[in-house]
């Protein structure tokens, strides 16, 4: 649910919207994030098939963070003590069977130890969870996460700004195209209308194209994805601003594992990738892990 700054403006580069299929998720957002941080995306949605025809998308309500997707995560974390720009590289146990966490500060090789903790919950992408578990002499647990339906595929995202109306026929939609899998008019989302003149369009490449171009430069990616977009809308108007972001771990499979909790290790794993990759799936996985934790209490004897 990431947003990226471009001058005074903010563009949603990650998850473009979320749906609500479980009333428990709605209650969670209302009670923990507050209604001011999210709302309905009142847009016109169409998908483009392989023949180039535009067809109406599903009528499922699409919700967004206001004034940017990251407004929700900021609201959820406002009462938490969050330490950012720290890369966790190892987990270790103390003599009292509690956890120590070793980190490296961003851009530094200096290590720092944190703890002691009763339990550790991991919410990173599966590839990073496996790496951390292997680095922590927990290879058997890492092996349990080694399933094809857990794997996350990459996604290149490009944002383009047009000084005028790009004359795009939808505010958001999926594309059957060899390069582009999604296009959205970011400026049509709630709370974005006052962010300046013109339009910001967000393009997501397909997983297959992103994998083939995993190591391509941002300049090459912007050029090819922009050319594909202009070809689709049959326009010659060039964007006056552009930016790109490569998500190495973006698109999830159709796993339905819920979460992992190993009580003998006091270690758990949750994440959207365990439940199919939607935003709501992150909440579902976390809720499942909370259920596994119910009735468990730290051993106070240590």
The two three-digit tokens of residue 188, written as one number: 């049509």
Q: What pLDDT is attached to residue 260?
A: 96
Q: Is the model's pLDDT at 300 over the cut of 50?
A: no
* Domains of the chain, residue spans: 3-76+153-251, 86-149+254-293
Q: What pLDDT is attached to residue 168?
A: 82
**What is the rounded CA–CA span in Å between residue 144 and residue 109?**
30
pLDDT confidence bin for 288, thresholds 50/70/90: very high
The answer to whether domain 3-76+153-251 and domain 86-149+254-293 are alike in fold is no
pLDDT digits (tens, 9 = 90+) for 3-16: 998 877 889 999 99
Q: Is the model's pLDDT at 94 over the cut of 80?
A: yes
pLDDT confidence bin for 297, thresholds 50/70/90: low
Q: What pLDDT is attached to residue 194?
A: 56
CATH topology of domain 3-76+153-251: Polyamine Oxidase; Chain A, domain 2 (3.90.660)
**What is the rounded CA–CA span in Å between residue 278 and residue 156?**
18
Q: What pLDDT is attached to residue 302?
A: 34
Nearest one of 143, 103, 114, 113 to 262, comparing CA atoms: 143
Q: What pLDDT is attached to residue 301?
A: 41
Three-class DSSP labels, 88-156: EEEEEECCCCCEEEEEEECCCCCEEEEEEECCEEECCCHHHHHHHHHHCCCHHHHHHCCCHHHCCEEEE
Residues 170-189 have a mean pLDDT of 96
**What does DSSP say about strands 120-122 and 267-269: parallel, antiparallel, or unpaired?**
parallel
pLDDT digits (tens, 9 = 90+) for 220-275: 999 999 999 999 988 888 899 999 999 999 999 887 889 999 999 999 999 999 99
User: For the whole model, what pTM was predicted?
Assistant: 0.91
Q: Is the model's pLDDT at 101 over the cut of 50?
A: yes
DSSP calls for the chain: --EEEETTEEEE-S---B----HHHHHHIIIII-GGGEEE----BEEE-TTS-EEE------EEESSSTHHHHHHHTTTS----SEEEEEEEE-TTS-EEEEEEETT---EEEEEEES-EEE-S-HHHHHHHHHHTT-HHHHHHT--GGG--EEEEEEEEEESS----S-SEEEB--SSEEEEEEGGGSTT-TTS-SSEEEEEEE-HHHHHHTTT--HHHHHHHHHHHHHHHHT--PPPSEEEEEEEEEEE--------EEETTTTEEE--GGGTTS-HHHHHHHHHHHHHHHTT----TT-
**Over the chain, what is the mean pLDDT?**
92
Residues 101-117 have a mean pLDDT of 88
CATH code: domain 86-149+254-293 is 3.50.50.60
């Amino acid at each position: 649910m990431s947003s990226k700054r471009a001058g005074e403006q903010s563009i949603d580069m990650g998850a473009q919207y979320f749906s609500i299929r479980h009333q428990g998720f709605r209650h969670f957002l209302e009670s923990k994030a507050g209604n001011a941080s999210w709302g309905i995306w009142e847009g016109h949605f169409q998908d483009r098939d392989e023949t180039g025809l535009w067809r109406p998308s599903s009528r499922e309500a699409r919700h967004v963070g206001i004034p940017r997707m990251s407004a929700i995560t900021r609201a959820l974390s406002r009462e938490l003590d969050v330490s950012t720009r720290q890369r966790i590289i190892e987990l270790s146990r103390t003599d009292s069977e509690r956890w120590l966490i070793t980190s490296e500060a961003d851009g530094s090789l200096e290590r720092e130890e944190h703890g002691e903790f009763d339990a550790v919950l991991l919410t990173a992408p599966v590839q990073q969870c496996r790496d951390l578990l292997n680095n922590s002499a927990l290879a058997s647990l890492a092996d349990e996460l080694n399933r094809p339906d857990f794997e996350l595929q990459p996604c290149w995202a490009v944002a383009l700004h047009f000084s005028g109306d790009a004359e795009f026929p939808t505010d958001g939609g999926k594309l059957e195209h060899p390069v582009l899998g999604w296009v959205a008019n970011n400026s049509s989302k709630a709370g974005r209308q006052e962010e300046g003149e013109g339009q910001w369009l967000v393009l997501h490449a397909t997983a297959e194209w992103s994998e083939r171009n995993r190591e391509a430069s941002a300049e090459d990616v912007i050029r090819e994805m922009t050319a594909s977009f202009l070809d689709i809308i049959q326009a010659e108007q060039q964007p006056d601003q552009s930016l790109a972001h490569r998500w190495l771990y973006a698109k999830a499979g159709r796993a339905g594992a819920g979460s992992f909790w190993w009580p003998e290790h006091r270690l758990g794993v949750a994440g959207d990738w365990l439940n199919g990759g939607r935003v709501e799936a992150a909440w579902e996985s976390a809720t499942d892990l909370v259920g596994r934790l119910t009735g468990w209490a730290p051993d106070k004897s240590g």
